[in-house]
A and B are shown apart, each in its own frame.
Chain A
Amino acid sequence: MLKQRPYLIEFLTAAGLILAPFVLPWLGFAPNTVNRILVWGLFGLGFDILFGFTGLLSFGQSAFYGTGGFVAAYLLTRAGFPNVVLALVIGMIAAAAAGYLIGLIALRRTGIYFAMITVAIAEVFFFVEFNPLSDFTGGENGLPGVPTPSFNLGFTTLHFTTGWSLYQFLALCYFIGVVIALRIVRSPVGAVFSAIRDNPLRATAVGHNIHGYKLTAFVIAAAYAGFAGGLLGVLQAFMPPDAFTFDTSGQLVMQTAIGGRGTLFGPLVGAAVWLSLQDFLQAALGLGAAWKLVLGIVFVLLVCFLRRGIIGGLADLYGLLTGRRSAREPDESAPEVVAVASTPHAAAAAAAPTPVRPRPEGSPSGPILQAKGLTKRYGGLLANSDIDFTVNHGELRGIIGPNGAGKSTFFKMLTCEVHPTSGTIVFEGRDITGMNVTDVCQLGLTKSYQVNQLFTGLTVRENLVIAALSGLRGKFKLDLFRSIDSIPGLPERVQHTLELVNLTSRPDTPVSELAYGEKRRLEIGLALATSPSLLLLDEPLAGMSPRERVETVKLLKSISQGRTMIIIDHDMDALFELAERVTVLQEGRVLVEGTPEEIKNNSTVQEAYLGGVHGVLAA
């Protein structure tokens, strides 16, 4: 959405900011109002990265707004610091540092816990500013006398004082803020942010250290807040103590939701609506204190009916008017038919390109995974008991077993989603018992889920990019300003995975518009894109129609070229066709292990499934 033409958004932002002083006065905007909108907009850029892009709703941003503001104001008024811009930057750094420390605590929990903790944080900062630190912050008087910036260029000195003169400085700050925010959003880190918003569980499972990335988003938001707080002091020539109040956080949240979350410009639009409505209601309609009630009602209605705010609503309207959406539908359903019809070719073609990690002939051989004595106990329930299990390099192993045999628990232990009560797991010669999912995925062991775990708000390609990034960048890397397109090997790997799972015709389709079978294939694709050396597939055929099953079995065959895979499924015909060896689990234990032929004819297996009466039917 944000990456159609290079620098288009940057250009439009610059044009808008340059034109604003000529256009806005005609619309009745006072320069001071416009300046306040810019400060809120800048404050909101960081908040939108945190809330709109990463999905973390914080009610505590005033803490960092105030921190940055008071540090900058203190330096400029009490400490006699001469350079305004430097003071603003120091304020920003102080806010970011505070954000880091607070983030360490607040991000221990997610969802509503996170929201509650941030509320508490904001309140604590407010009290600290008012009481213990009132010598530095002026307490309830604030800090008066914050100077405005001026730049000595040698031949002349630029003063930015008030009104439209100060606007130039603020507009420049906002523009830089937008450019940086756009870089961040378009970077690999930005991609992981949206993965965390959409499905934190899967983001972890494909090998991203989401805690680190959440903390990053939190610090970014704090830094923006700190800088904007400093600008507030400059704008008002006075640092007001109410910058720290909970109301400030609340107003930011409301403005962002009104303007549109996840758009970067939402907070600016929201602030414009907020401040102009406030002026209008108070002055023109003479509503006095009731303006806030009107805005509150507007906000509630927007949350109820226009979830994506004004910008999101306009985007939907635009899509509706241009008929882009309706025109796209048939386009997309058509290739689907073609894709299914041409699958044999596609499968053959997919088998042809070299696998992501080619297996050199003859090496490595021997076991890739060895589990010894794996036991998992849930209270009194013994889910897995003393399982010994070995898979060799290049093998395609099937696991079958009746419902409740402990197959999924077994997989969860292998991928370290749950830790065994006892026993050890050795993967490629390394003991991985007790490691976490992310690290295990980084080592090359991952799984596709029984129930789809996709990034539902993103497109097929974006999904695969997120998974491929973890393999190419490791679990945590702060390449905030790197374009996602400049990562070597990424487009190739995504394209290759698209081919493997036969989704080349629909890379830019949102996941929510995919058919069930396509979602299942994407589920496998997510695991594949991390480039695993051992891939676990938990019921890849579950819920598929017979025709889809045939296609998917072909797909699995082509994927298995040069890979080690373990597949759980209930479809025994498919599994016997695919697997070289099959392990049968029953009641949490290994019942028997052997080639498909041996399993088919094994009387204990027949008994386990059919009570031993209709044994012939099992084949």
Chain B
Amino acid sequence: MINWPNFVSQLFNGLALGALLALISSGLTIIYGTLGVLNLAHGAMFMIGGYAGYVTYSYTGSFILAVIAGSLFVMALGVAMERIIIRHFYHRPHEDQLLVTFGLGICFVEIVRLIFTSQSQVVPPPALLQGITSLGFLFYPTYRLAVVGIVAVALGGLFLILYRTRLGMIVRAGIEDSVMVDSLGINVYRVFMIVFGIGAMAAGFAGIINAPVVSLTPGVGDDILVETFVVVVIGGVGSFPGAILGGLIAGEIISITSMFNPGYAYVMLFAAMTLVLVLRPHGLLGTQGRE
């Protein structure tokens, strides 16, 4: 028999995980949609965000500062990565882009491992959000509830950037047809750099927010990257709403399956992805455009 409070709490877990996945996936998907580059180092960005936050936290003791510093650091790293390496790969085949970002991801993980060792590090949630909240019929960790709110705000911010600013309009136009945007006299490469920074920042931000939930290890981004791929395939590559929908679906599938048997979480996730691929090859909210 299903234990209802347990079930509802798993639903909340799914929501928190789903929100995080949605945020990370939006970063991945806007980078891909605009630049045409699938960043396999995106998981490493998530991980580095966590560590950057951890370092800031251990020096200042402030969670807020950790979030800000971590996000900015990962954004700067993303911009540097785009300037130094990625921009040379825009005109090379997809395989080369995959290979180079994959290699960079490994380098990032190994650098972090070298500095912080493989031991797991802990960032406690801010004092205000510690403890447990009563939802009437069940008790739930306050911070996890807060995660949903924080990520929703972040997604809202991303939405405003994408749909209410000039930059966002260029980005969305670039997702449709980057050659056309280029020929309209807009410096696409500058936009590419900014988008890469924002996309990386989304992952880094998620990394810090997630740090109090799951302890930090250098490999923490690897699993996230795989889940992010599934999210993007389900939602549709290049689609911001698709990333959110896919993230929530994936989060709930993982959580609910884990309630019965954690071993099958990925199997169910994969089954869902297969179903989408068979029924809607371009993803739930994807369009037929870019391959």
Contact = CB atoms under 8 A, between A and B. Distances in A.
A92 interface: no
**Interface of A: prevailing SS:** helix
Interface string B207-232: 00000000000000011011001101
B110 A290 contact: yes
A123 B114 contact: no
Contacts of A113: 233, 237, 291
B267 interface: yes
Given A110-B291, A115-B98, A296 B262 contact: no
Interface residues of B, number: 45
Contacts of A303: 96, 99-100, 103
Interface string A584-614: 0000000000000000000000000000000
Interface string A525-543: 0000000000000000000
Nearest to A294: B110
A312 to B, nearest CB: 13
A51 B95 contact: yes
**Interface of B: prevailing SS:** helix
B102 A290 contact: no
Interface in A82-135: 105, 108-113, 115-117, 119-121, 123-124, 127-128, 130-132
Nearest to A105: B274
A131 B100 contact: no
A164 interface: no
A259 B99 CA distance: 14
A116 B291 contact: no
Contact of A124 (B223, B267, B277, B281): B267
Nearest to B85: A304
Contacts of B264: 127, 131-132
Contact of A120 (B110, B222, B273, B278): B273
B45 to A, nearest CB: 16
A253 B102 contact: yes
Interface in B263-291: 263-267, 269-270, 273-274, 277-278, 281, 291
A297 interface: yes
Contacts of A618: none
B226 A119 contact: yes
Interface string B238-276: 000000000000000000000001111111011001100
Interface string B84-126: 0100100010111011101110110011011000100000000
B170 interface: no
Interface in B44-77: none
A307 interface: yes
B51 to A, nearest CB: 15
B38 A250 contact: no
A121 B270 contact: yes
B32, B85, B99, B233, most chain A CB atoms within 10 A = B99
Interface in B161-216: none
Interface in B17-63: 32, 38
Contact of A111 (B94, B114, B281): B94
Nearest to B291: A111
Contacts of B85: 300, 304
A111 B289 CA distance: 13
Contacts of B232: 116
Contacts of B291: 109-113
A566 interface: no
Contact of A300 (B32, B107, B222, B261): B107
Contacts of B99: 57, 253, 257, 299, 303
A300 B81 CA distance: 12
Interface of B: 32, 38, 85, 88, 92, 94-96, 98-100, 102-104, 106-107, 110-111, 113-114, 118, 222-223, 225-226, 229-230, 232-233, 237, 261-267, 269-270, 273-274, 277-278, 281, 291
Given A127-B266, A132-B267, 12 more contacts: A57-B95, A111-B94, A117-B273, A119-B226, A123-B226, A131-B264, A132-B263, A293-B114, A296-B103, A296-B104, A300-B85, A303-B99
